[in-house]
Structure 1
Amino acid sequence: MSIKRHGLRTGLAAAVIAGGTLIGGAAHATPPGPGVSGRIIWQHTAGDTDFVLREVTLPAGQATGWHHHDGTLYARVRQGTLSHFDATCASDGVYPAGSAIVEPAGPGNVHIGRNLGATAVVLDVLYVLPAGSPLSVDDPNPGCDFQ
Structure 2
Amino acid sequence: MRHLSRLGAIGAVLIALALPAGAAHATPGGPGVVGNVIARTTVGDRDYVLREVTIPPGQATGWHYHDGTLYARVKQGTLSHFDATCASSGVHPEGSTLQEPPGADHVHLGQNRGTTDLVLQVLYVLPHGAPFSQDAPNPGCDFE
- TM-score of the superposition, structure 1-length normalised? 0.80
CA distance in 2, matches of 1:106, 1:54: 20
| Identity among equivalent pairs (%) | 65
1:26: Cα distance to partner?
Answer: 6.5
Structure exhibiting the larger radius of gyration computed from Cα positions: 2
Aligned residue-pair number: 125
* Separation of aligned partners in 2, 1:107 and 1:71: 10
The structure that is helix-richer by fraction is 2
For 2:133, the equivalent position in structure 1 comes to 136
* Distance (whole Å) between structure 1 residues aligned to residue 69 and residue 85 of structure 2: 20
Q: Does 1:108 align with 2:71?
A: no
Unaligned runs of 5+ residues in structure 2 are: 1-9, 15-24
Structure 1 segments of 4 or more deviating over 6 A?
none
Amino acid at match of 1:74: Y
- 3-state secondary structure, aligned to 1:108: helix
Does the C-alpha gap of structure 1 residues 26 and 110 become closer, same or farther in structure 2, counting only changes over 3 Å? farther
**Are 2:58 and 1:61 equivalent residues in the alignment?**
yes
1:27/1:64 contact within 8 Å kept: no
Helix, strand or coil: the match of 2:110?
strand
Higher relative contact order (CA 8 A, sep 6+): 1
Instruction: Map Cα deviations across residues 61-111 of structure 1 (whole Å, 9 max, x no partner).
Output: 000000000000000000000000000000010000000010000000000
